[in-house]
Structure 1
Amino acid sequence: MPRIFTAIEIPADVAQMLTFLRGGLPGARWIDQDNYHITLRFIGDVDVNVAQDVASMLDSVNRAPFELRLEGLASFGGKKPRAVFAEVAPSAALMELQAEHERLMQRVGLEPEGRKYTPHVTLARLRDSSSRQVADYLSERGSFRSAPFRVERFVLYSSRASVGGGPYVVEEAYPLSALAARRAV
């Protein structure tokens, strides 16, 4: 039973910049730079037939390439922080792509995602980090900002069940089409 999700890959130069943010946070398990990504839709553990339906349905996505930028750091978990992440600067194109993935997954028969979509790149999973330690870390490094990068495809990843996720394997890549941009005009 594969565990799958759709995502945008992080270019190597941006991933390298993110690795410079490592350290200085007790209890952090830092994500390997090869596993940095922006999740579009977590699908979860599904049988092979559903995985094939998902892969087939994603072929219908017809969107133009777009640019993204990472801007700032934040954490999930409030008083019991569980992850530190790089925020994605607001992008209408990203939100539209994610909404399309959500609609397609519901057509395959998956339940709607219950959480509000927050585009991000997880940098570390936290174990026993205090909210004060996380606040100090964010105050020192929170002004992080990447150069813009072009998104020309999204991928269907699989992963094995493990603590902290990864390693992730690209099962299929779906190019975004410049032709879609011309049709929209």
Structure 2
Amino acid sequence: MNVRAFFALRVPERVTRKLADYADELCQFDRGLEAHWVDSSSYHLTLCFLGEVSLEQVEELEERTREALNAKRFNVSLDHIGYYAVNPKLSVVAAMTSEQNEVDELHQSLVDIAIESGLDYDEKNFLPHITLARLPSDNQFELDTEQLPQLDLSLPADAIVLMQSRPGEQGSIYTPLFEIDLPLAMAN
């Protein structure tokens, strides 16, 4: 049996509430664009989308992640909302970060773990993000990017979660498959 899976960070309630408020503001610009707004209870920061994964590979991913991941806890700053093309047919409206050094390093570590676990990872130009809405790639809001809300939010990168994604009636349903706490950074 295979599952659709991805690595993510959980989004705390305080950040979820603020992002939901921003999404509500953006809904007024959704004029027949076929945008599907994500329920705020499903918000997460996608670090690495894996696609179809066997249950054996899930076990391998957990073992390798526990052994190989050496990232320490840090804070992720979310500073803007933008468009992100997931593939030629689908784009997302997402909360994103401009300062991504630690996020990029964590993403690359997870990609390396996925490849070492036998997955065929090929997400080119992936950007870690929190999806607020999904829409066809040829649709965009009638709004300059300068009019999109600027964010000043932060969330902790304190645990990595491998999530299963499956379709539901009101959007995707996410189920954690395993979670690994990141250790605290040692003070110098």
| TM-score (ref. length: structure 1) | 0.84
- Kindly report the root-mean-square deviation, in angstroms, between the aligned alpha carbons of the 2 structures: 2.7
Q: How does 1:1-185 map to 2 (within 5 A)?
A: 1-20=2-21, 21-22=23-24, 23-24=27-28, 25-26=30-31, 27-60=34-67, 61-77=69-85, 82-127=91-136, 130-131=139-140, 134-136=141-143, 138-140=145-147, 142-161=148-167, 166-178=172-184, 181-182=185-186
Tell me, in whole angstroms, the C-alpha distance in 1 between the residues paired with 2:170 and 2:91.
11
C-alpha spacing 1:113/1:72, structure 2 compared with 1 (3 Å)? same
Tell me, in whole angstroms, the C-alpha distance in 1 between the residues paired with 2:6 and 2:89.
26
Tell me, in whole angstroms, the C-alpha distance in 2 between the residues paired with 1:128 and 1:102.
25
Q: Extract unaligned runs of 5+ from structure 2.
A: none
Number of residue equivalences:
179
Deviation at 1:152? 1.0
One-letter amino acid matched to 1:54? L
Q: Contact between 1:75 and 1:81, CA under 8 Å: does it hold in 2?
A: no
The sequence identity of aligned pairs, in percent, is: 23
Deviation at 1:105? 0.7
Q: Deviations over 1:6-36 (max 9, x none)?
A: 1111111111111112211133211011211
| TM-score (ref. length: structure 2) | 0.82
C-alpha spacing 1:112/1:81, structure 2 compared with 1 (3 Å)? closer
Q: Contact between 1:80 and 1:130, CA under 8 Å: does it hold in 2?
A: no
Please state whether the residue corresponding to 1:136 is helix, strand or coil: coil
Tell me, in whole angstroms, the C-alpha distance in 1 between the residues paired with 2:79 and 2:180.
25
Tell me, in whole angstroms, the C-alpha distance in 1 between the residues paired with 2:74 and 2:59.
27
Q: Extract unaligned runs of 5+ from structure 1.
A: none
Q: Contact between 1:72 and 1:144, CA under 8 Å: does it hold in 2?
A: yes
Tell me, in whole angstroms, the C-alpha distance in 1 between the residues paired with 2:8 and 2:146.
28
Could you tell which deviates more after superposition, 28-37 or 121-130?
A: 121-130
Bigger proportion of residues as strand: 2
One-letter amino acid matched to 1:153? A
